[in-house]
Structure 1
Amino acid sequence: MIDILLVGAGVLGLVVAALSERLRRLPLSEPVLALVAGVLLGPAVTGVLDLRPVTEDSTWLHSATRALLAISVMSVALRYPFGAARSRLRPVLLLLAVAMPVMALVTAGLSALVLGVGLGTAALLGAALCPTDPVLASSVVTGGPAEEDLPERDRQVLSLESGANDGLALPLVLIAVALAGSETIGAAVLESLWQVLGAVALGAGIGWLGGRALAVGEEHGSTDTGPRLLFTAVLALTVLGLSGLVHVDGILAVFVAGLAFNLVSTGADRTDDAPMDEAVNRFLVLPMFVAFGAVLPWEAWVDLGWRGPALALAVLLLRRPPVLWLLRRPLRLGRPDALFLGWFGPIGVSAIFYLVLEAERLRLDPVVLAAGTLVVAVSTVVHGITSTPGRVLYRRATSSDAAVDQSPSRAR
């Protein structure tokens, strides 16, 4: 099966490469194309990829999503100069400390209301679906069209939020697991403190060492551009492995390592990592979403009835847009910016990662994986096909506002 998966992703990669920047101007994204390809290759259509639904076998997804998220958050940490990232600290902290917990509570409440599940099951869905996905968010904020249509501040805030909240959602997930299982809240809080503080310490230390090692290599002329591009990916996987050995939050550790590396490495190092960022966003996601499309649990979705689509729609409309709208003044966002950032907070690989993590820790109610994967699939498609129209609408709205502000009547 792995060979068929790689061939399918490879062929799709050729299509993406051929379309190049034109794809970014179409109402499509690479994850959407890969998801559709996975459905066509999977048991639901042709059966070429004969994989069991995610509700029956999700163990391999943990390793796959963990590795992809590590490389993705590393690319986010290296996407902008460290000074630019630091200048966005206030809005990002506000999104992490206020918006993310509120999104978890809203999603949990919607799950309980629509699905009729108990507190524990609702909390598991709320925690897993609250983080903004860095893989899907990158397809919105990277590339030439995004740089033309969107202000740098919005792109940086969405990128940094999606990179940081993937790891910082872990405490919410651990508390949800405690609510749904036999573990105490106190034990979950203590584990969360160890996971987060240990991740920050480990990531900062290894990222600093990696940046210094690369700087020393450059001073002696022993580090060329090609090795530098791969070095950060290897650094991400190294931090991820060390995090697993000492049982700390690996995704957060990798993000912190990327920031530390960004801080101590040279400007040329950071700029040369842009091709890695593009490769992650456009090509590395393809095998993951092809596989995800092939294991979608269609029968479990049918069992949800109308409640499944209703939950997905409610989560997309109510989980994030109202929260960002209410926070627009503290975030210092104009109305178009609040609408854009409120809508484009996609749910993707990070949600799959946490859903599988919950399944490993508990004997889950089947509705958790069924409803969770449905929301992920809907978010992937809806946000993928609305990214280009959304950018165009944002550009027109801001252009109209600027024209009104500069009108003669306003000037008087």
Structure 2
Amino acid sequence: MPIALDWLLLLTSGTVLVLSLLSGLIVNRLWISEVTLCLLFGAALAASSTYWMHGILSASGQLSNLELVARLTLGVAVMGVALRLPFEFFRTRWRDLAVVLGLALPLMWLTSALIAYVCLGLAILPALLVGATVAPTDPVVAQSIVSGKIAEHNVPGRVRRLIAGESAANDALGIMIVMLPLLLMQHEPKAALADWLVDVLVRDVAMSIIVGAVLGGFTGVLFVRAKTRDYSEDRSMLVTGVALAFTSIATLQLLGGDGIVGSFVAGLVFNRRISGLETRQHHLSAALSRFFDLPVFILIGLYLPWREWMKLGWSGLIFAAAILVFRRLPWILLLGGFTRSLRHHEERIFTGWFGPIGVAAAFYALQAEAEGGMEWLWPITSLAIFASVLVHGTTATPLARRLGSRLARHRDGE
């Protein structure tokens, strides 16, 4: 292995090790998320002008490598959410998910597109593509917000489950809204629509759902039999979850489908199959996600395009601020009353504010660049990612405490 890659391995693994040892101190005392620290650490490394740092950036390749890491991270993240949430949540709260996915997500897409159109002066189709990449909430950053002692103590479980479930499900379906403007920019409308129906809806979504369900169901049956016959133990859940995520991604890549959709569905079906077993799947899936989630933000930090951001000037800053404020919050405030999970106005404000942009946006932007040559997309999307991870990562703890105190007053007043 080249020396530069040894350094990269040391930096990423060492950072995860330190953050794992100090996670309680960081979240509870410093009020900053671990993913925010990783992103800033990667940005600081990229800003250094040392010889070995240039070697790392050269050896780690171009943005295509970041796309691969983001794909694997997303697959593991949505698998972790599918394993962590009780299957009953998806059965009993499907209407809540329908509201946030079927209504809020398209509105977030169109709002983000309008912001890009007004602030950055993009044409309609490029603005729609930007809106599509930043619309889905990120399961990696969302999990860092709704997990931990402070969140579990102050944020009701139904709110945390809705944020986590939405972040995994909308990333799995985000491919549909990303590919539509991308195809329209490459082909005539009639041909683009035909490609979208066949290649995206049938191959990327429908086929991926079927393949993921088969893989998850088959793995679940084998795991139940192994567990009941003492061939397997709780600790094997960790290996099984990672292997199932990677198997789903690799299988669907070979078949031309979408591995993120397949991984999420495989996790749901697998979770359903093993729901009668007593396993410590919550802690195991949390450890699984933690190990894979943090390094990707160091890599994103390494590839932040500071020069391109400078060229955007004040328009870029206004765009990032408008995305944070107007992309999601107004729609959750409007639609949250139609859900059972968000019972109080304060809960709708909290859920509307915490719709983070992260790995999913990076993956979709880099995928659009690989498939359509949209090099201009990464600077814009990465700016939204940086703003979201920085702002959401530093406001999660104080706002969770504030929500807890407000809900306590409601309970005292009843």
More deviation, 222-231/88-97: 222-231
Cα distance 1:151–1:360, how it changes in 2: closer, same or farther (>3 A)? Answer: same
Match of 1:306 among 297, 309, 314: 314
Amino acid across the alignment from 1:231? T
More deviation, 320-329/22-31: 22-31
Whole-angstrom CA distance in 2 between matches of 1:44 and 1:335: 45
Q: 1:22 — aligned with what?
A: 25
Q: 2:14 — aligned with what?
A: 11
Whole-angstrom CA distance in 1 between matches of 2:125 and 2:78: 29
Aligned residue-pair number: 401
Cα distance 1:68–1:234, how it changes in 2: closer, same or farther (>3 A)? Answer: same
Whole-angstrom CA distance in 1 between matches of 2:207 and 2:294: 32
Q: 2:328 — aligned with what?
A: 320
Q: 1:339 — aligned with what?
A: 349
Q: 1:359 — aligned with what?
A: 369
Whole-angstrom CA distance in 2 between matches of 1:323 and 1:157: 15
Whole-angstrom CA distance in 2 between matches of 1:98 and 1:248: 25
Amino acid across the alignment from 2:197? V
Whole-angstrom CA distance in 2 between matches of 1:164 and 1:63: 20
Whole-angstrom CA distance in 1 between matches of 2:39 and 2:93: 33
Equivalence map 1:7-406=2 (5 Å)? 7-25=10-28, 26-44=30-48, 46=50, 48-50=52-54, 57-182=62-187, 184-194=192-202, 195-268=204-277, 271-332=279-340, 333=342, 334-364=344-374, 366=376, 368-403=377-412, 405-406=413-414
Post-superposition Cα deviations, 1:241-288, rounded to whole Å, max 9, x if no partner, equal 11111112211111111110011114446x422233322443322221
Q: Percent of aligned positions with the same letter in both sequences?
A: 33
Whole-angstrom CA distance in 1 between matches of 2:172 and 2:73: 13
Amino acid across the alignment from 1:278? A
Q: Is the 8 A contact 1:214 1:223 kept in 2?
A: yes
Amino acid across the alignment from 1:34? C
Whole-angstrom CA distance in 2 between matches of 1:130 and 1:44: 32
Whole-angstrom CA distance in 2 between matches of 1:48 and 1:15: 22
Post-superposition shift, 1:166? 0.6
Q: Is the 8 A contact 2:125 2:181 kept in 1?
A: yes
Q: Is the 8 A contact 1:41 1:48 kept in 2?
A: no
Q: Is the 8 A contact 1:62 1:357 kept in 2?
A: yes
Post-superposition shift, 1:216? 1.0
Whole-angstrom CA distance in 2 between matches of 1:127 and 1:71: 22
More deviation, 393-402/273-282: 273-282
Cα distance 1:45–1:100, how it changes in 2: closer, same or farther (>3 A)? Answer: farther
SS at match of 1:306: helix
Amino acid across the alignment from 1:171? M
Whole-angstrom CA distance in 1 between matches of 2:184 and 2:111: 17
Whole-angstrom CA distance in 1 between matches of 2:23 and 2:370: 39
Post-superposition shift, 1:198? 0.8
Pairwise CA RMSD: 1.8
Post-superposition Cα deviations, 1:343-402, rounded to whole Å, max 9, x if no partner, equal 011000000000001001112152x21111010011111111111011011112212223
SS at match of 1:327: helix
Amino acid across the alignment from 1:137? A
Amino acid across the alignment from 2:107? V
Whole-angstrom CA distance in 2 between matches of 1:52 and 1:7: 14
Cα distance 1:160–1:229, how it changes in 2: closer, same or farther (>3 A)? Answer: same
Cα distance 1:15–1:207, how it changes in 2: closer, same or farther (>3 A)? Answer: same
Q: Is the 8 A contact 1:171 1:189 kept in 2?
A: no
Amino acid across the alignment from 1:329? G
SS at match of 2:137: coil
Whole-angstrom CA distance in 2 between matches of 1:292 and 1:105: 26
Q: Is the 8 A contact 1:340 1:394 kept in 2?
A: yes
Post-superposition shift, 1:47? 6.1
Whole-angstrom CA distance in 1 between matches of 2:400 and 2:316: 29
Whole-angstrom CA distance in 1 between matches of 2:52 and 2:170: 36
SS at match of 1:364: coil
Amino acid across the alignment from 2:225? V
**What is the TM-score with the length of structure 2 in the denominator?**
0.92
- 5+ long unaligned stretches in structure 2: none
Amino acid across the alignment from 1:32? T
Whole-angstrom CA distance in 1 between matches of 2:108 and 2:5: 36
Amino acid across the alignment from 1:4? W
Post-superposition shift, 1:24? 2.6
- 5+ long unaligned stretches in structure 1: 407-412
